[in-house]
Amino acid sequence: MSLKFRLRIRLLLMLWGIFLLTLFLPSLYYNNYLKDEILRETQARATRELSLIKDLMLREEEFAGPEQLHAWLHRVSDPLKVRITYVDERGQIIADSEVPFDQISSLASMDERPEIAEAYASPTGSSLRHDRTSDSNLLYVAQRIEGRGKIPGGVLRVAIPLSSIFYALRNVAVIQRLIILTGFIGFALMSLGLMVSTSRSVSLLSKAADSIGQGNVKSLLQFHPRHYFYPLAKSIRENAERVESYIQTITEQKSQLESILDGIEEGLLLLDSTGRIDSSNRAARKMFTSVPELKGRRPLEVIRSPELQAACNRVLENEIHSFHSEVTIGANFFYHVHIVRIEHQKDDYGAIIALHDISELKRLEKVRRDFVANASHELRTPLTSIKGYTEVLMSDESDPDVRSSCLKVIFKNTNHIIKIVNDLLQLAKVEDYNTIMDIRPVRADDGLMEAWKACIPAALERGVSLQNYLASDGPLVLADFDQLVQVFRNLLENAVKYSPSGGEIEVSSSAQNGRVTIAVSDSGPGIPRHDQQRIFERFFRVERYRVKESGSTGLGLAICRHIIRSHGGAIWVESPRKGMSTGSTFFFSLPASEEEAVSPLLS
């Protein structure tokens, strides 16, 4: 049995108990009061009648004996409807209006009757008893009487039957109880019905309240307009709808705010007054993916910078209003940090940490610095050489041989500087985001042949030949033709440069998943494994070939990588060549084209 049910039953029983008590007790009291009043009145009447009989008796002439007294008593008692008994001082009955005279002498002594005993002690004695002879309740009233003539002194007693009065009283009580019972049954049924219907309504209201708590206000509280809970239900529904509309507005505003915050590139961390992270935006979560949950953590747990934590503490303690600085985390992460104190309300404050990731900026700065250093270094070597030989020319102008060899060196170094400058210009061009690329379907074979033309003199000089496996109707790629030629040219120039005399360069292709991969292989010395990634960096050259590499700038492969990446492809090297102990194969991939190629050479 549920607690709610037990409570209801207890409440109902209490209500019924109160109902019964409030009706039953007054009725009980009223019945007793009525009985007492009737008894008192009957006693008064009996006393009056006894006095009257005594008076009448005294006015009568003296009785000849007990028999005349008996007859007289019988006569007087008849209209009064009472029993009259005359008892002498010994307690013996002398005359009785309801007992035949010849039986009087056989009646028991009365001296122990309470009313008789009381009549001797006080003016009037009375007693209420059940009489076995008449099987009824009788009220006895007795008074002393003086003896006259042949009649001795004693006690005159009247007995008034009360059975009819008591019967009437009992009937009244029974009727009263019936009325109370009927009233009680009616009340019980009504209160039960009311409780059932009320508790059903209350349970509906409580379910509705629960449901509202869970954010659902629709299709609830459908009470009939005449239902006594209708006004309450109506007001609950209206309030719930109002609350729902507020919630909706707040939710919309919240999601708007979240989208704004998530749209901001800076990482934002909102600290509460205890200095713990309360919320964060998407950029911040992306910055600290290694921390599973930012909420509830202290800034130091997320950004391992004691300096930043100290700044947060100072801002939260209102020592400073805001803080700006650059924070370095590890070797590669740099942030511009801005901390501001925010006050929502009195005693409700926090702080916002805005983190601007400047790692890429820093990296580019370093690249630029390295580039300037590298370029200066690369240019300084030939320039130093030119300067040296020029000095020689200036000091010893007479020796034609020395002069000629000096001029050759100057010429060679000047060419090298020109090549570096050209390559740098080329790199700047391909790196320029504003350079418009003319991407269209082109035949890779056309690009290869165009590039090979420029390599032919060097190839002839070294006896290096080209084995072209790209069929004449070869792979179609989506590319800027000039840039494709540039890639082929750089790869072929390297292949020619590093191939041994009489070596062979092979160019082939394969297509897969909408991409064409072109491979340029040579039989040169190959590239050490640990340098294979680095050869695509600017100015990087494999150390052991440096001496031989006259005319090397270390920029060719960097240019290739940039071009290929800007086409959405990739470039990599495998060395030694597959199945061989030397040589290298340069691969690059480009998007394949389905459409027919338009020859750029013809257009």
Q: Which is nearer to ligand ADP, 280 or 584 (CB)?
A: 584
Taking the complex as a whole, the smallest distance from the CB of residue 525 to ligand ADP amounts, in Å, to: 6
| From 234-242, 317-325, 397-405, 537-545, span contacting ligand ADP (CB under 6 A) | 537-545
Q: Which is nearer to ligand ADP, 485 or 542 (CB)?
A: 542
- Note whether 585 binds ligand ADP by CB under 6 A: no
| Structure tokens belonging to residue 44 | 């008064």
Taking the complex as a whole, the smallest distance from the CB of residue 374 to ligand ADP amounts, in Å, to: 12
- Note whether 244 binds ligand ADP by CB under 6 A: no
Element housing 83 (H / E) = strand 83-88
Taking the complex as a whole, the smallest distance from the CB of residue 565 to ligand ADP amounts, in Å, to: 15
Q: How would you classify the pairing of strands 154-161 and 83-88?
A: antiparallel
Q: How far apart are CA 330 and CA 558, in angstroms?
A: 28
- Note whether 557 binds ligand ADP by CB under 6 A: yes
Selected from 584, 587, 592, 597, the binder of ligand ADP by CB under 6 A is: 584
- Note whether 494 binds ligand ADP by CB under 6 A: yes
Taking the complex as a whole, the smallest distance from the CB of residue 419 to ligand ADP amounts, in Å, to: 8
Ranked by CB distance to ligand ADP, the top (closest) residue is 556
| From 114-122, 270-278, 477-485, 556-564, span contacting ligand ADP (CB under 6 A) | 556-564
| From 37-45, 52-60, 408-416, 494-502, span contacting ligand ADP (CB under 6 A) | 494-502
- Note whether 552 binds ligand ADP by CB under 6 A: yes
Taking the complex as a whole, the smallest distance from the CB of residue 504 to ligand ADP amounts, in Å, to: 13
Q: How far apart are CA 187 and CA 177, in angstroms?
A: 15
| Structure tokens belonging to residue 36 | 């007492």
Q: How far apart are CA 54 and CA 72, in angstroms?
A: 12
| From 4-12, 186-194, 243-251, 545-553, span contacting ligand ADP (CB under 6 A) | 545-553
| From 11-19, 181-189, 333-341, 548-556, span contacting ligand ADP (CB under 6 A) | 548-556
Q: For 246, how many CA atoms within 13 A lie in the half-sphere containing its CB?
A: 6
Q: Which segments of 357-439 does DSSP mark as H helices, in order?
A: 359-395, 400-431
- Note whether 302 binds ligand ADP by CB under 6 A: no
Three-class SS of residue 316? Answer: helix
Q: How far apart are CA 450 and CA 317, in angstroms?
A: 71
> What count of other Cβ atoms lies within 10 Å of the Cβ of residue 524?
23
- Note whether 569 binds ligand ADP by CB under 6 A: no
- Tokens 């200036």 found at: 394
One-letter amino acid at 256 equals Q
Selected from 556, 564, 577, 588, the binder of ligand ADP by CB under 6 A is: 556
Q: Are 374 and 420 in contact (CB under 8 A)?
A: no
Q: Which is nearer to ligand ADP, 486 or 593 (CB)?
A: 486
- Note whether 505 binds ligand ADP by CB under 6 A: no
- Note whether 535 binds ligand ADP by CB under 6 A: yes
- Note whether 506 binds ligand ADP by CB under 6 A: no
Q: Are 277 and 271 in contact (CB under 8 A)?
A: yes
- Note whether 496 binds ligand ADP by CB under 6 A: no
Taking the complex as a whole, the smallest distance from the CB of residue 498 to ligand ADP amounts, in Å, to: 4
Taking the complex as a whole, the smallest distance from the CB of residue 561 to ligand ADP amounts, in Å, to: 9
Total residues binding ligand ADP (CB under 6 A): 22
* Residues 454-493 as x/- pattern, contact with ligand ADP by CB under 6 A: ------------------------------------x---
Q: Look at phi and psi of residue 182 and say left if phi exceeds 0, alpha if psi is from -120 to 50, else beta.
A: alpha
What residues from 197 to 216 belong to the interface with ligand ADP (CB under 6 A)?
none
DSSP state of 592: B
Q: How far apart are CA 56 and CA 59, in angstroms?
A: 5
Q: How far apart are CA 156 and CA 51, in angstroms?
A: 10
Burial class (CB in 10 A: 0-12, 13-18, 19+), 414: middle
Taking the complex as a whole, the smallest distance from the CB of residue 523 to ligand ADP amounts, in Å, to: 10
Nearest to residue 267, comparing CAs of 286, 249, 283? 283
| Structure tokens belonging to residue 417 | 């500087």
- For 444-559, strand residue ranges (E) read 465-468, 476-480, 504-512, 515-522
Q: Which is nearer to ligand ADP, 221 or 492 (CB)?
A: 492
What residues from 513 to 532 belong to the interface with ligand ADP (CB under 6 A)?
522, 524-525, 527
3-state secondary structure 139-197: EEEEEEECCECCECCEEEEEEEECHHHHHHHHHHHHHHHHHHHHHHHHHHHHHHHHHHH
One-letter amino acid at 75 equals R
Treating both helix axes as pointing N-terminal to C-terminal, what angle do 3-59 and 163-213 enclose, rounded to 10 degrees?
Answer: 160
Q: Taken in order 29, 33, 34, 36, is the CA torsion positive or negative?
A: positive
Selected from 236, 424, 484, 555, the binder of ligand ADP by CB under 6 A is: 555
- Note whether 382 binds ligand ADP by CB under 6 A: no
Selected from 66, 299, 350, 554, the binder of ligand ADP by CB under 6 A is: 554
Q: Which is nearer to ligand ADP, 323 or 587 (CB)?
A: 587
Binding residues for ligand ADP, rule: CB under 6 A, are 490, 494-495, 498, 522, 524-525, 527, 535, 540-542, 545, 549, 552-558, 584
